Amino acid sequence: MSSPFIVVITGLSGSGKTLALRALEDSGFFCVDNLPPQLMEEFTKVAAQKKDVSNIGIGVDIRERGFLSGIDAAIKTLHERHRMMVFFLEAEKDVLIRRFKETRRPHPLHGESIEKSIEAEISALASLRQHADKVIDTTAFTPQQLRQVITSFIGAGGPVFQIQIMSFGFKFGLPPNADMVFDARFLPNPFFVPELKELSGRDDAVKKFVAGDPLTIDFIKRLENLLAFLIPHYKREGKTSLTICIGCTGGRHRSPVIAELIAANLSARWAGPELPVNVVHRDL
């Protein structure tokens, strides 16, 4: 009997763990949520006895804080005996607060405030975060984008190399999960063109303005040549993902256009499920 492939989904409350676990389930994983770490290995043994179970998803969170003292040993054991990945989901604090207020659900730690509860949870899960094979910041993700990221990482029952292209605005801060950052603020800015100011990089008029500029064409060509050199080396090194961030002043005009162009060209160059390319516009 072959060893199952195991994905552990964990992270901060409100970061999208339930959605991520559902994405695994929809991909054919046999999933269980809120499992105490001490039961992980036994659950894996029982699940693996089923002939139709080759992929297992396990959700772990702060609701089982009384058992978290055993998480280090449990994950170490699973890593030694099975193919495994640990995803740790998080988001910026103000986004987590907004999500809790929108759903009107209490934080599982029931602190004196949501802010204090989140801070306590970050501290309690710090060790677990260090075990993660991939930390995923869901701040800018829609539910569909999170599902795409999760399923693209696991591929057909195992981790695959994934590229994420993210546009952002420098005035809102750097993306915390960036591997590479490129500054597009030197390009002509549609913001100062009256008929383009209220549009975004998703509109054809803005796309034409940005993409048709000779400076943009040269920038795209140079950036693609750099990525064509780097990506094979990152894959050879064993990285499972590469987050490439393109920034402009507000993240509304130039960077979304550049991000879409880069993503389209990378997808055309390395088309196929073995190298998925996702696009996220953080500040649109």
Query: Domain-by-domain residue ranges, the chain?
Result: 5-159, 163-281
Above 80 in pLDDT, residue 84? Answer: yes
Predicted pLDDT of residue 258:
96
CA 248 to chain CA centroid, Å, is 21
Q: How far apart are CA 209 and CA 193, in angstroms?
A: 10
Residues in the chain, how many? 284
For the beta carbon of residue 1, count every other beta carbon within 10 angstroms: 7
**Token output for 148:** 């795409």
Q: How far apart are CA 145 and CA 259, in angstroms?
A: 15
Predicted pLDDT of residue 46:
82
Answer whether 56's CB lies under 8 Å from 4's CB: yes
- The confidence band for 193, taking pLDDT boundaries of 50, 70 and 90, is very high
Answer whether 282's CB lies under 8 Å from 140's CB: yes
Answer whether 132's CB lies under 8 Å from 124's CB: no
For the beta carbon of residue 276, count every other beta carbon within 10 angstroms: 21
For the beta carbon of residue 63, count every other beta carbon within 10 angstroms: 14
In this prediction, residues 253-266 reach a mean pLDDT of: 93
Q: Which amino acid is at 107?
A: H
- The confidence band for 159, taking pLDDT boundaries of 50, 70 and 90, is low
Place of tokens 């993240």: 251
65 three-class SS: coil
Answer whether 151's CB lies under 8 Å from 85's CB: no
Predicted pLDDT of residue 25:
86
Distances (CA, A) of 149 to 9, 27, 140, 189, 268: 13, 12, 12, 31, 19
In this prediction, residues 200-215 reach a mean pLDDT of: 94
Predicted pLDDT of residue 165:
92
Q: Which architecture, in CATH terms, is 5-159?
A: 3-Layer(aba) Sandwich (3.40)
Helices then strands, counting H and E runs in the chain, come out as 10, 9
**Reading across the β-sheet that carries 241-248, which strands appear in turn?**
180-183, 241-248, 162-169, 277-281
In 3D space, the residue among 246, 247, 249, 245 whose CA is nearest the CA of residue 192 turns out to be 249
H or E stretch covering 57: strand 55-59
Of the candidate ranges 68-72, 110-114, 116-120, the one whose mean pLDDT is the lowest = 68-72
Which one is predicted more confidently, 53 or 85? 85
Above 90 in pLDDT, residue 177? Answer: no
DSSP class per residue in 211-231: HTSHHHHHHHHHHHHHHHHHH
